[in-house]
Amino acid sequence: MNFLTSLLAFIVAIGVLVTVHELGHYLVMRWCGVRVLRFAFGFGKVLWSRTDRSGTEWALCLWPLGGYVKPLDTREETAMNNADRAVAFDTQSVSKRIAMVAAGPIANFLLAILLYWIVFLNGVVEWRPILAEPPAGSPAAMVGVKTGDLVTRVDGEPVATWAAFQWHLLQAFGHEREVSVALAPTLDGHRPAESSERGVLLALPAGTRLGPDLLPSLGLRLATPDFQPVVGIVQPESAALVSGFQVGDRVVRINGVTVAHWSEVVNAIRAHPDQVMTMQILRNGQTQDLFLTPRAVEERVGRYGQSAPSEPQRIGKAGLGPVQDASALDEYRVRQELGVLEAFKAAGFETYDKSRFTLVMLGQMLTGKASLENLSGPVTIATAAGQTARIGPEAFLRFLAIVSLSLAVINLLPLPLLDGGHLMYYLVEILTGKPVSAERQAFFQRFGVVLLGSLMFIALFNDLQRLFNW
């Protein structure tokens, strides 16, 4: 079921994002007077089509993984009269061609703004930036971060959510500078005591690259409420299901040791990969013993101050989840609601900020300062699509927004085969007064195929690495 959800969410996401991208091209082409021969939804064999009065064929194709717009082009048509030449793509002025090519990425930027606006207008629930106990020896531990510390400001800017805290850190470390973090201890683990606020300086350890393990490598972890040791989730085909666990079971003892909190259950399972554990449970007022053998998996854990992005660690996984107390969760979460104009401003800023950071990260990866593990391919995107779809509409809309702006930024890169490559040709045409020759374009196209193919291979390798915990 999870696979089908991920597949369906992926198809919907790619279908929407690519369709919007191509619709941007189409609308500006029509506005510039260019004849569009085909607007295809998907690729491959045409399953259904209809031709409108302007001569555009609207086609539904077999593989629903994107789409394309095909304008009239003299380079592809041998026999063409003057009337047709006047409405061909390549005969238009360079300014019109720039507008038509740039329209696709711009449409994706506008879609991201719209999606963020809907999310902010509806209100978002986020984790408060309350820190868990940092591991001994980590950078966070060495500067004095304590259990229950609430992040109030980063470099003087107020911070209200865990996501905002992460974002400030990534931006600062992306520019290779220290970060000033204001912390306030909390009462009872969640209520802030701002009167005793203190400041610490966080620096990226020498040789550490920006990547998915950045925060764990600093020892920064989000504090979450500890629930009662009562089973609320038993995943299908899991070790817990095989051993006989049911929803509602209360874990009383593990290997003879009394259990009071769910975190103790998690820690015990993680510490016993492929080892038989005796789990004493309370079910319907009766105690009984279950024998659980957690499945061993590889978890990638950041290494403090080392250039290697991660090292594998063997842990146990059972497929159990707790009954979550909504009132306890509320103490660790905050809801932000914005008005119509405020939501629009926030959406615009969010799109700009994340687009700028995407460019920074791409630059960091090119220079080796950021890990290539940041590259993601279709498997990771499909997994994220499925996960966010299962979480709810807000998470899925956020996912669509970030992928949409990422698609826009990547398409604007000056690489052959991408929109940015064509824009580069047009810039050369403006500077030299003549178009780039077909021979040179063909050469750069071959180079682009090799480069993009290499990037896709790396992204797919990262996907498989995450999927199978290599």
Report the pLDDT value the prediction gives residue 256, as an integer from 0 to 100.
92
Residue type, 416: P
Write down the pTM of the prediction: 0.68
Contact of 202 with 169, CB cutoff 8 Å:
yes
E strand segments, 318-421: 320-322, 333-336
The residues, ordered by sequence, that sit 6+ positions from 429 with a Cβ below 8 Å of its Cβ are: 94, 435, 436
Beta pairing class for 124-127 and 333-336: antiparallel
Q: Which residue has the tokens 């089908």?
A: 4
- In degrees and rounded to multiples of 5, residue 179 shows phi and psi of -125, 130
Residue type, 235: Q
Contact of 108 with 20, CB cutoff 8 Å:
yes
E strand segments, 102-167: 124-127, 150-154, 157-158
The rounded distance, in Å, linking the Cα atoms of 331 and 308 is 37
What tokens does 281 get?
């449970």
Report the pLDDT value the prediction gives residue 428, as an integer from 0 to 100.
92
Kindly provide the b/e burial profile for residues 100-134, where b requires at least 16 CB atoms within 10 angstroms of the residue's own CB.
Answer: bbbbbbbbbbebbbbbbbbbbbeebeebbbbbbeb
Per-residue pLDDT of the chain (470 residues; tens, 9 = 90+): 566 777 787 788 888 888 999 999 999 999 999 999 999 988 889 999 999 998 999 999 888 777 899 999 988 776 678 888 899 999 999 999 999 999 999 999 999 999 999 988 887 777 888 888 888 788 888 888 888 888 888 888 888 888 888 878 877 776 667 888 888 887 555 555 555 778 888 887 766 666 556 677 788 888 877 788 999 989 888 899 999 999 999 999 999 999 988 888 988 998 999 999 999 999 998 999 999 999 988 765 444 333 334 455 788 999 898 987 776 777 788 777 788 898 898 899 889 878 877 787 777 666 665 555 655 555 566 566 666 666 678 788 888 998 899 889 989 988 888 899 999 999 999 999 898 887 888 787 787 777 777 766 666 666 555 555 44
DSSP state of 210: B
Number of C-alpha atoms within 13 angstroms, CB side, residue 405?
Answer: 25
Q: Which helix (H) or strand (E) holds 319?
A: none
Contact of 239 with 338, CB cutoff 8 Å:
no
Report the pLDDT value the prediction gives residue 335, as an integer from 0 to 100.
78
Among 323, 336, 309, CA closest to 162: 336
Task: Give the Cα-Cα-Cα angle 325, 329, 334 (nearest 5 degrees).
Answer: 155
What tokens does 166 get?
């992460």
DSSP state of 286: E
The rounded distance, in Å, linking the Cα atoms of 192 and 150 is 7
Number of C-alpha atoms within 13 angstroms, CB side, residue 149?
Answer: 23
Contact of 299 with 317, CB cutoff 8 Å:
no
Mind listing the domains of the chain with CATH numbers?
139-218 (2.30.42.10), 231-323 (2.30.42.10)
Specify whether the backbone of 176 is left (phi greater than 0), alpha (psi in -120 to 50) or beta: left
Among 121, 22, 193, 40, CA closest to 393: 121
Using CA atoms, how far residue 299 sits from 346, 440, 447, in Å, is 36, 47, 37
Catalytic residue among 22, 126, 337, 429: 22
Contact of 73 with 88, CB cutoff 8 Å:
yes
Residue type, 376: S
E strand segments, 303-361: 311-317, 320-322, 333-336
Contact of 57 with 39, CB cutoff 8 Å:
yes
Contact of 94 with 183, CB cutoff 8 Å:
no
Q: Is 197 known to be catalytic?
A: no
The rounded distance, in Å, linking the Cα atoms of 157 and 131 is 18
Give the dihedral of Cα atoms 411, 416, 417, 420; nearest 10 deg: 30
Indicate the length of the chain as a whole number.
Answer: 470
The residues, ordered by sequence, that sit 6+ positions from 188 with a Cβ below 8 Å of its Cβ are: none
